[in-house]
Structure 1
Amino acid sequence: MTQVNITLDLEQLKDELMETNLGAVTKSAVIVVLNQMMEKERDEYLKASAYERSEDRVDMRNGYYERDYTMSLGKMTLKVPRTRQGEFSPSIFEKYERAEQSLVLAMLEMVINGVSTRKITKAVEQLCGESVSSSYVSTLTKRLDPIVQEWADRPLNVMRFPYLYVDAMYIKVREYQKVVSKAVYVAVAVNEKNRRQIIGFQVSHVESEEGWTRFFEHLQKRGFTSPRLIISDAHTGLKKAIQSTFVGSSWQRCTVHFKRNLIAKVPKKGAQEFTAVMKDLFLQSCPDRARRMKNELVASYEEQPRFEEALTVLDEGFEDAIQFMSEPNSYHPQLRTTNNVERLNVEIRRRERIINIFPNTQSAFRLIGAVLKDYDEKLEHLQRPFLRKSSDEK
């Protein structure tokens, strides 16, 4: 019987096989070739052929195991040779594993971008010719958990944060076979280099003083210290939590929210001048100037009963709404509102809207955390300060 010796350029053959669309009729031939490639690699690893006695031998053969291998012509089952000590691994799977890892990362990116599980399974089937179950995608997304948790718990004592923005949004979560509303706390800070960072988030049962306090204490345990100024809306529980947790910090009430509250109390007719002056109050650069304008406004309308409620609201909230005026003038547009953190909430909402109802709290933490982590990395790559001093302030 004639013996045929086949000399293979393994690297070239692997590359060609991975890049070529082969017909189904060649599938069995490819299996034979790949099995022979792996057998040859095992011989080279052992430094001895089958039944060969050699002083250079490093291990012994230990049979085979089956492993699926997916190529452009479909899935095939290969006989993978193994050794007794288990340290041999055929190189043919290295490229496959890199491709598989790229696919996994692509799927996780789709999850972060809010693509539904159904659409992900369909996309994978079109790309690979292999269907994956929704449960597989759900299991895969759990790989994000330790990544998100590590980011959410990272230390904050490596840098000072003079300014802190906090806000909350609501999501729907399925819990004990019911759909409930839960609060998501988000904190964005400006560091000593005047750049924004997302420093924390938390999914809580409800927006309350207790919930905000727990959130702030979590930031403090990670090394966050009292900032110079905290910007937020005027939620009662949030205000109390700020006062008790961040002693020595000033609180800036978002002027956008405050003006909305004021306008709601202003009479519908004959109040154009009042509204114009009221809006102009919060465009002043000097707190003393703003106070004089406010006193003049009150004096002009205090005798008119229909403005009484609006003037009361203005008087009670005015000082909290002008705290930003004690900071550099060029910072004022960014420090007087929570607009930047609310834009971040829009990014979360855009992904969350596709899901609509989270199956559990952990899945909400996973997706929202992944979105925030991705957004935070983009902020870091911008390398652009959020707050900039003008030339005359330097």
Structure 2
Amino acid sequence: MNQFNKDIIAVLSSDKDIPLNEVLRRQIEVAANQFLQNELTAVLGYGPHTRIDRSKDDVNYRNGAYTRTIDTEYGKINLTVPRDRLNKFQNALFPPYVRRTDGLEEMVIKMYSKGVTTREIADMVERMYGHYYSPTTVSNITKRTEHLVEEFHERRFKYSQYVCVFLDATYIPLRRGTVEREAVNVAIGIRSDGGKEVLDYSIAPTENGAAWSELLQGLRARGIKDIQLFIADGLVGLQSAIEANYPQAKFQRCWVHAERNLLGYVRKNDRREIITDFKAIRQAENLQAAKERLAAFSAKWESSYKRRIKNLVQMEELFTFFSFPTAIRQTIYSTNLIESFNKSLKKMVRRKEQFPNEGALDRFIMTQVMEYNDKFENRAHRGFKDCHDTLDSMF
């Protein structure tokens, strides 16, 4: 039985309140210091207390040590790092200037991605591990994700074809001198096999056609050549941006947005009935049946809301989803899918005190995107697996 096992048994059988983490911390400290000594022995080629001739200039030998403290998930460990005369020894266990282990940093980043504020993380680390991290230190740790942000925005796409891409923006408070809500433009794509992922996102003061055009240009430049359908609301300039970058793609205007807009133009007493009638159009079995229901809807309500009903009748892009297999229509008639992602994003954001700059917001969004893509990229979305071959044939 080794000393580590003996210490564990002693703690478990002792009446003293000694945390198990403390036993682990001590063992890690002993093992790490022994490892450093063994490393130096390997570099020198001989062990401690070996007699050598130090009169020669090229002879290397032990030359004292210095101390370092490393924060680990089990607490602080104190290291005695040996030196050599010729300064050839560079330990592989702890790189220079590192003061925390990867495990602790990963935990900090994970908490940050869950919406925990830097101040809350600092307090939690102190309570759990007994050492203090300032909110600034926590913020610096989260900056480890900066390279992931850059890699994500510049990556080449593994797939060149997507059945549909959802476009939507959400607004998040951001400081640029003063704090204002800025647009986060998000694009989520679904392939013919049903795998879905956040393709890209961008941060801009407002949602506009130019920002969307730039995002779509990036998708095409990095390898997405074919998209069958875009689903979005009716933002001015958005359809032009789509046509400029993906001229062969079809466009589906979000039915849910159309319903909300309709409610704003009808009397309260009529709302339930008119929305029920309007939804029945979308729920038709095919395009012909939908157009017949639209005609009946128009005849019933045009006298009361002539201008609004006329506008709806002219929105041909509301019916694009009927040209796709029935199995996926429930997904592609609206932007509900991407709005769900944006809602989750904003829920996490509410816990943040504020984002002091665009980089901080970018890093935070990146953690949410990575989690979403890890979860859904290789999981078939509802209905797509049932018509995989049909969707493939559309390209």
Instruction: Please indicate, yes or no, whether the TM-score normalized by the shorter chain is above 0.5.
Output: yes
Native 8 Å contact 2:281 2:294 kept in 1: yes
- Structure 1 stretches lacking a partner, 5+ long: 1-8
Question: Does 1:372 pair with 2:369?
Answer: yes
Q: Distance in 1 between matches of 2:323 and 2:335?
A: 17
1:361: Cα distance to partner?
Answer: 0.8
Partner residue of 1:295?
A: 295
Partner of residue 385, structure 1: 381
Report the counterpart of residue 80 of structure 2 in structure 1.
Answer: 78
Does the C-alpha gap of structure 1 residues 77 and 205 become closer, same or farther in structure 2, counting only changes over 3 Å? same
Is the 1:265–1:309 contact (alpha carbons within 8 Å) kept by the matching residues of 2?
no
After superposition, the C-alpha distances for 1:88-142 in whole angstroms (9 at most, x for unaligned) are: 5386x69xx8981111100000111110111111111122211111111111111
Identity %: 24
Counterpart Cα distance in 2 of 1:32 and 1:260: 66
Q: How many residues align?
A: 369
Select the residue among 314, 318, 321 that pairs with 2:318: 321
Q: Which deviates more from structure 2 when the two are superposed, residues 116-125 or residues 70-79? A: 70-79
- Pairwise mapping of residues 137-176 of structure 1 onto structure 2 (< 5 A)? 137-156=138-157, 158-176=159-177
Q: Letter of the aligned partner of 1:387 in structure 2?
A: G
CA contact (8 A) 2:263 2:271 kept: no
Assess if the C-alpha contact under 8 Å between 2:161 and 2:226 holds in 1.
Answer: no
Between the aligned partners of 2:147 and 2:195, the Cα distance in structure 1 is 26
CA distance, structure 2, for counterparts of residue 87 and residue 252 of structure 1: 64
Aligned-residue offset at 1:85: 4.9
5+ residue gaps in structure 2? 9-18, 391-395
**CA shift in 2, pair 1:39/1:222, >3 Å:** closer
TM-score (norm 1): 0.82
**Closer, same or farther: CA 336–140 of 1 in aligned 2, 3 Å:** same
Displacement of 1:147 = 1.3
**CA positional deviation for 1:35:** 6.5
- Aligned mates of 2:131, 2:269 — CA distance in 1: 67
* Paired letter, 2:67: E
| Separation in structure 2 between the aligned mates of residue 15 and residue 141 of structure 1, nearest angstrom | 39
Secondary structure, counterpart of 2:251 in structure 1: strand
Write out per-residue CA displacement over residues 197-246 of structure 1, whole angstroms, 9 at most, x where no aligned residue. 11111111211111111111111121122411100111113233223322
The answer to whether the Cα contact below 8 Å between 2:40 and 2:89 also exists between their aligned partners in 1 is no
Larger radius of gyration: 1
Asked if residue 190 in structure 1 is aligned to residue 186 in structure 2, the reply is no
Shift, 1:358, TM fit: 1.1
Per-residue CA deviation, residues 239-284 of structure 1 (Å, 9 max, x unaligned), is 3322332212111001111112123223444576544322200111
> For 1:268-283, what aligned pairs fall within 5 Å after superposition?
268-269=268-269, 274-283=274-283
Q: Which residue of 2 aligns with 1:217?
A: 217
CA distance in 1, matches of 2:308, 2:65: 83
Looking at structure 2, the residues matched to 41 and 218 of structure 1 have their Cα atoms a distance apart, in angstroms, of 48
SS in 2 for 1:186: strand
Establish whether residue 359 from structure 1 lines up as the match of residue 361 from structure 2. Answer: no
Q: Which residue identity does 1:170 align to in structure 2?
A: Y
Per-residue CA deviation, residues 280-309 of structure 1 (Å, 9 max, x unaligned), is 00111311221122123323444x2x2212
2:252 partner amino acid: Q
Whole-angstrom distance in 2 between the partners of 1:20 and 1:377: 32
Alignment root-mean-square deviation, CA: 3.6
Residue 78 of structure 1 aligns with an amino acid whose one-letter code is T
